[in-house]
Amino acid sequence: MSYGFYEGRPLTTKGRFINPFVFGWLKLLAALPGVPNVERPVFITGLGRSGTTILGILLSLHKQVGYLNEPKALWHVIDTRQDINGNYSDCGAKFRLLDSDVQPGQRMVARRLFARYLKLVGANRVVDKYPELIFRVEYVLNLFPDARFVFITRSGADAVPSVVKWSERLGVKSGENTDDWWGRNDIKWHYLRDQLILPDPDYTSVHDFVRGAVDHLNRAALEWVVTMREGLAQEQRFPQAVVRISYEDLLADPVGELTRLQRVCGLDVDPTVFSYAEKRLYDNPAKGWPELEPNVHVLFRDTMLQLGYPIV
């Protein structure tokens, strides 16, 4: 139900012919009268390739939960500006959305869509895995004041190479277009660079570098740095709403970490989640540090230190 009617098909997937039907359905749900309540939605955030998917799958097994895996079509109906990959539009997206970006009617639309999804799947709590929402905590809290955000971290030495391999494995060329981790024809990279890196004095050391051609490895490292620092800032700013969990801790102590997470998110502790974690969670061989441009390496090293990861 989630996959077929709510999530939509992004650029790198097949079956995009179904998107007009998905959007028609979502717009119908958004137009139906009423403003139903959505209690304490949970959003899994961070950087993709950092454990967001497996954590979402684990929580999807919870008896109270309806699970949405990056429902970007649904969010596009709420606010077209969230589409930083160019899945459904190619201009005007914003990486960071604030409280002041909420427009009239969007809270109503968001509540209608999420509440009616829960009713359809017979659940009372929604878990939405959408990593980029870590840049939109303030915005989402305007829509859902009692929301919880799970910010998952993973060592950059492992996450960054995984991002690069994702594009190599799943990137698609269609005519003159390239669709990969960086969206259609690098649109996501352009938004990241122009909206988050170049305006920020903390990244002055790489401003000249990012104005030129940047390879996928250094792009991935910079996205990891910017995302991790954003998550740490949001955790400090909204300590009651943002809970941090590391992928490494999840592997080391799945029962303890999943128990803590469920309690913080106001979910009953469900042993089904534990039993599946024991089957599916496994560690990958540690990667070596990526060979980065010197100024990118400094930012990368400093961020690893902030997160408490070992330095080599």
| pLDDT tens digits, 235-264 | 999 999 999 999 999 999 999 999 999 999
- Mind listing the pLDDT tens digit for each residue in 115-133? 999 999 999 999 999 999 9
Which pLDDT does position 91 carry in this prediction? 82
pTM over 0.85: yes
Which pLDDT does position 175 carry in this prediction? 85
Answer yes or no: is pLDDT of 312 > 80: no
Domain count along the chain: 1
Looking up tokens 């010197």, which residue turns up?
A: 294
Collapsing DSSP to helix, strand or coil, 4 comes out as helix
For residue 312, being part of any structural domain is answered with no
How far is residue 52's CA from residue 157's CA, in Å, rounded to a whole number? 17
Q: Please state the φ and ψ torsions of residue 81, each to the nearest 5 degrees.
A: -75, -10
For residue 9, being part of any structural domain is answered with yes
For residue 93, being part of any structural domain is answered with yes
For residue 107, being part of any structural domain is answered with yes
Rg over CA atoms, the chain:
19
CA dihedral of 77, 55, 134, 83, whole degrees rounded to 10? -30
b or e along 188-219 (b: 16 or more beta carbons within 10 Å of the residue's beta carbon)?
Answer: bbebbbebbbeeeeebeebeebbeeebebbbb
CATH number at residue 301: 3.40.50.300
113 neighbors 26 (Cβ within 8 angstroms): yes
* 112-126, 132-146, 147-161, 283-297: range with lowest mean pLDDT: 283-297
Mean of pLDDT over the chain:
96
Answer yes or no: is pLDDT of 286 > 80: no
Q: Please state the φ and ψ torsions of residue 115, each to the nearest 5 degrees.
A: -65, -40
> Considering the chain, what percentage of its residues have pLDDT values greater than 70?
100
- Mind listing the pLDDT tens digit for each residue in 210-244? 999 999 999 999 999 999 999 999 999 999 999 99
Backbone region of residue 185 per phi and psi (left: phi > 0; alpha: psi in -120 to 50; beta: other values): left
How far is residue 102's CA from residue 105's CA, in Å, rounded to a whole number? 9
Looking up tokens 């080391």, which residue turns up?
A: 252
**pLDDT tier, 135 (very low <50, low <70, confident <90, very high otherwise):** very high
**pLDDT tier, 166 (very low <50, low <70, confident <90, very high otherwise):** very high
Beta-carbon contacts of residue 237 (< 8 Å; ≥ 6 apart): 137
Residue 78's domain spans which residues?
A: 2-307
**Tokens for 104?**
């009239």
What are the helix (H) ranges across the chain?
2-5, 19-31, 52-60, 72-78, 106-121, 137-143, 156-170, 187-191, 207-210, 216-237, 247-252, 254-264, 271-280, 294-307
How far is residue 143's CA from residue 309's CA, in Å, rounded to a whole number? 34
Answer yes or no: is pLDDT of 302 > 80: yes
For residue 297, being part of any structural domain is answered with yes
> Considering the chain, what percentage of its residues have pLDDT values greater than 90?
93
